[in-house]
Structure 1
Amino acid sequence: MATSPLSPRLLRGAIVALDPANPLASVILFQYNPETMTRSLTPRTAGADLSAQGKSDLDTTEAKRISGPPKETISLKMAIDATDRLEQADTMAVTLGIHPQMATLEMLMYPKTLSVLTNSAMSKAGTLEIVAMEAPLTLFIWGGNRILPVRVDSMSIEELAYDVNLNPIRADVNLTLEVLSYKDLKLASLGGALFMAHQVSKELMATMESLKNVSSIAKGAAGSIPLL
């Protein structure tokens, strides 16, 4: 599955987990960019928020108010294949197959071992208040216009082939990512600031497109006016 040298060089998507306790970020580069991606957006309205609280006496104005950016989920399929690395006699691929790549992905959903052991020790020592384990800030990077804080909502792994030692050497991974906005993170945080930058970029692109459309309509209208 090697890329032809005549093919244009493409940016590769990535998932990056930034852990404040670990200066070495977990970087997952897509071996092959997914051909498709599904995005689902659900509006976040004041009416829906109040209804969730059991309040039914909503006036029309309240029902139409937006309480924040839409809730967004991203679904995609990643392909992981050790064929090229096995042909190059890569030591890690020969010994472990694609276990390391899958482990990097799966660890996005695991607490850090040190945190688990620390909390266990504190519990045995009788500590009344144990701080919940904080997940690293996970970023979905898909080109310069999409750098989004996300949370892995679900992960489904289909292992497709194995080597003689039963190490997986080829797999498809279905990922569902929940985009985190400044409604989920503090606006002053890195994740909140990145989402706000994403929203501002969208507003600018939408304005540019609207201006282009207005210009096209104006030209069309001018061309339809009969000359006297």
Structure 2
Amino acid sequence: MTSSFLPGTPVVPRGAIVLLDPATGAVLRVIALQYNPDTLTRTLQPQGVGAEAGERSEALRLKGPALETVKVDVELNATDQLEDPSGADADSVARHGLLPVLAALDLLVNPTARALLDQDAAARSGRSRSRPWRRR
């Protein structure tokens, strides 16, 4: 393999988005990025109950965990992955471009078919419906 980089050029570690199983912590998928992201922002928004967001006359009551938003600005370029023709992804990139990477990113925000079927089955059986709370 011939390198297009000058001798002594430092090896820069590249970023990745890693999807973990919440129950076991096992790595489910790794989406490698060509460059480290320029920006990474994480925000938490509490889910309040009752009055409008600007209303301060009532105590803050929460109806669930805060909504987390992660924003990452990344740059994707297929030509960088084609520089090393012996790389594992070079053939896939040559055939499909960046579509596999974009599809993997799309899967992060959309539920799986299995999750949708499970939700549908729970709704049909009545398990997902809320029931009134009763004091015992």
TM-score range, shorter chain: 0.5 to 0.7
Distance change (3 Å), C-alpha of 1:129 and 1:72: closer
The structure in which a higher percent of residues are strand is 1
Amino acid of the structure 1 residue aligned with 2:125: T
Partner residue, 1:63: none
**Displacement of 1:24 after TM fit?**
4.7
**Displacement of 1:95 after TM fit?**
2.0
**Higher relative contact order (CA closer than 8 Å, sequence separation 6+):** 1
Amino acid of the structure 1 residue aligned with 2:34: Q
Amino acid of the structure 2 residue aligned with 1:127: S
TM norm structure 2:
0.55
Q: 2:35 aligns with which of 25, 32, 35?
A: 32
Distance change (3 Å), C-alpha of 1:115 and 1:80: same
Q: Aligned residues: percent identity?
A: 30
8 Å CA contact retained: 1:39, 1:72? no
SS, match of residue 73 in structure 2: strand
Partner residue, 1:56: 57
Task: Tell me, in whole angstroms, the C-alpha distance in 2 between the residues paired with 1:73 and 1:118.
Answer: 25
Partner residue, 1:9: 11
Task: Tell me, in whole angstroms, the C-alpha distance in 1 between the residues paired with 2:12 and 2:94.
Answer: 27
Task: Tell me, in whole angstroms, the C-alpha distance in 2 between the residues paired with 1:117 and 1:72.
Answer: 25
Matches within 5 A, 1:61-72: none
Task: Tell me, in whole angstroms, the C-alpha distance in 1 between the residues paired with 2:35 and 2:4.
Answer: 10
Structure 1 gap segments, 5+ residues each:
45-49, 59-70, 132-228
Please, what is the CA RMSD of the aligned residues?
4.0
**Displacement of 1:31 after TM fit?**
1.0
Distance change (3 Å), C-alpha of 1:73 and 1:121: closer
Matches within 5 A, 1:21-170: 23-34=26-37, 36-37=38-39, 39=41, 52=53, 54-56=55-57, 75-86=71-82, 88=85, 90-123=90-123, 126-130=124-128
